[in-house]
Structure formats: structure tokens, C-alpha cells
Amino acid sequence: MTTATAEDQIRDTVTSNDVVLFMKGTKTMPQCGFSSRVAGVLNYMGIDYADVNVLADDAIRQGIKDYSDWPTIPQLYVKGEFIGGCDIITEMTLSGELDQLFEAKGVAFDKDAADKIREANG
């Protein structure tokens, strides 16, 4: 029965926030390098997002992997859709796909900051 609860919590979180990052730690204090990288990109781009610390709840930690059918954390959701983990978000940021996704979904972000990330990593 706990899985249903975790799944319900995850679904509620994903559908009630435009952007959600399931991560190890929090956006202000990430607890792993991959979570830190994705949170860093979102923070730098000025994205307003909800962070869910999977280390605080084992049911959510396992539940999010089942929910997305994706084995690793962090996991980024935009408007209820699973986008990917660290490698995918890094690639999308550098290619400009993440900007396009945010624009298409109506999520506000700092375009100049996104450009600066690409310049620094180009």
C-alpha cells in the first residue's frame, strides 16, 4: 500500500508544479554531483522549480524510479513530463534543446544565462 501512496505523492508533485527536480539533497544543498549539476543549471537559468529530496523518503526514492521507469536520480519533470537525468539535461542545455522545451511549455527562464552556459562549455 505504501507504493500507491508514494506514487500518488509523486503524481501530485509532478502535476501541480511546472518544473520538478527529484534529486539527492535540495536545490540549495545538493548531496551528489549529478543532482548538483542539474540544480546548478536550473538555478543559473532562473527556473522556478520544486525540488524533492529523495534521500528524505525511501518510498519516494524508489517510487520515482518506478514512476518514470528510469533507474537514476536526479530526474527532471516539466509540465508533468519526464525529461531526463543529468546527462540528458546537460546535453539538452548545451544544444539549446532545454531552452526550446521551456519556451514550448511556457516556463520562464533567463535566456542570457542559458547562452552563457553554452559559451562557457562551447
- Whole-model pTM: value is 0.94
Q: Which domains does the chain have, with CATH numbers?
A: 2-121 (3.40.30.10)
Grid coordinates belonging to 80: 508533468
Instruction: Please give the radius of gyration of the chain, using alpha carbons only, rounded to the nearest integer.
Output: 14
pLDDT at 122: 78
Comparing CA positions, the residue from 67, 53, 83 lying closest to residue 5 is 67
99 near 114, Cβ under 8 Å? yes
Q: CA-to-CA distance for 44 and 67, rounded, in angstroms?
A: 28
The contacts of residue 4 (CB under 8 Å, 6+ apart) are none
86 is in an annotated binding site: no
> What are 67-109's pLDDT values in tens digits?
999 999 999 999 999 999 999 999 999 999 999 999 999 999 9
